[in-house]
Amino acid sequence: MTPAVSIIIPCHNAEAWLGETIESALAQTWPGCEIVTVDDGSTDASLQVARRFELRGVTVISQAKKGASAARNTGFRASHGSFIQWLDSDDILSPAKIENQVRRLSSSPANRVASGPWGRFERSTAEAKIVPERNWSESEPVEWLTHNFAGRGMMPPVAWLTPRAVAQAAGPWDERLTLNDDGEYFCRVLLACSGIDFCPDAPSYYRSNLPGSLSGRRSAEAWDSAFLSHELCARHLIASEDSPRTRRACADLFQRLAYQVYPDFPDLAAACEKRAGEFGGSEIRPLGGLLFRLLARLLGWRKARALQKRGP
């Protein structure tokens, strides 16, 4: 019997991209796919765009605005597949992405998850550049997360394929979170799985630099969400394995966030550095060009970052 795959698409004000995203789901070569689109209180024509696909078998659910995580949870409850494909309303699947990952997982030990290569794009997937990262390989969960926490590679939701049993064991998306809600969710997914299969023949495409996107928000509320997400991720990882490598990874995670929020939110940066110190300290250095690195060496990274933010 063909294992069914549920493609779950949360949507809020994405009328410009939603049709292309749903078309990429409908174009999958794997025959057993159901598509569940959840409109989360859109004020544009997103719901109307989604409803155009109902005659082609797409399930469309409309709810009052509760946030992306709540929309994903609604979609999961309405789904039936043995595998779950999370698909944001502006991202794109390559046609054989799901088929190649299902076939790989079907021949692997139980409860493994699949990842795959991905590329960023703004308008067309033709412009996407797929650049391998450190964690694009078969891996055990804690190893993968330690690399991720240190900034040695990410994996957007579109790139994963998750067995339903693993998603159920991990639990629902945390509806308190906005920024980095996917980081916290997939931390739990990975710790609930038996390992990660990387499928080089299963590419996907992650749309970036959209105005108003959750990942692009830099408000105090968004950064508070990121801090809570990091706290939860650290808690999950340490509960799974309390060791020098996991404590170093948690320190790296908080140190990287400190570099991101300074100088706009100095109190939050200080809280992040305090947490990094509590995990033993991090040797991660802030990213920047040659001039920034020179200034950081002479003045310290905080003054160098403040000068960098101030601009010419």
* Torsion angles phi and psi, residue 38, rounded to 5: -115, 110
- Cα–Cα distance, 273 to 267 (Å, whole number): 10
On whether the CB atoms of residues 137 and 198 are closer than 8 A, the answer is yes
Which pairs from 101-108 meet CB under 8 Å and 24+ separation? 101/161, 101/197, 101/199, 101/202, 102/3, 102/5, 102/30, 102/161, 104/197, 104/199, 104/202, 105/161, 105/163, 105/197, 106/3, 108/195, 108/197
So where are the chain's domains? 5-210, 216-284
pLDDT of residue 60: 98
pLDDT of residue 307: 84
* Torsion angles phi and psi, residue 234, rounded to 5: -60, -40
Q: How confident is the model at residue 312 (pLDDT cuts 50, 70, 90)?
A: low
Q: What would the pLDDT profile of 168-203 be if each residue is shown by its tens digit? A: 999 999 999 999 999 999 999 999 999 999 999 999
Tell me the pLDDT of the chain averaged across its residues.
94
Q: pLDDT at residue 228 above 60?
A: yes
Q: How confident is the model at residue 27 (pLDDT cuts 50, 70, 90)?
A: very high
Q: What is the pTM of this model?
A: 0.94
Q: What would the pLDDT profile of 130-145 be if each residue is shown by its tens digit? A: 999 999 999 999 999 9
Q: pLDDT at residue 217 above 80?
A: no
61: number of Cβ within 10 Å: 18
pLDDT of residue 215: 46
Residue 205 or 299, more confident: 205
Say whether 12 sits in a helix, a strand or coil: coil
- Percentage of residues in the chain having pLDDT higher than 70: 96
- Cα–Cα distance, 254 to 251 (Å, whole number): 5
Could you tell me the CA-to-CA distances from 26 to 4, 140, 150, 230 in Å, in that order? 14, 32, 36, 35
| CATH architecture entry for 5-210 | Alpha-Beta Complex (3.90)
pLDDT of residue 1: 61
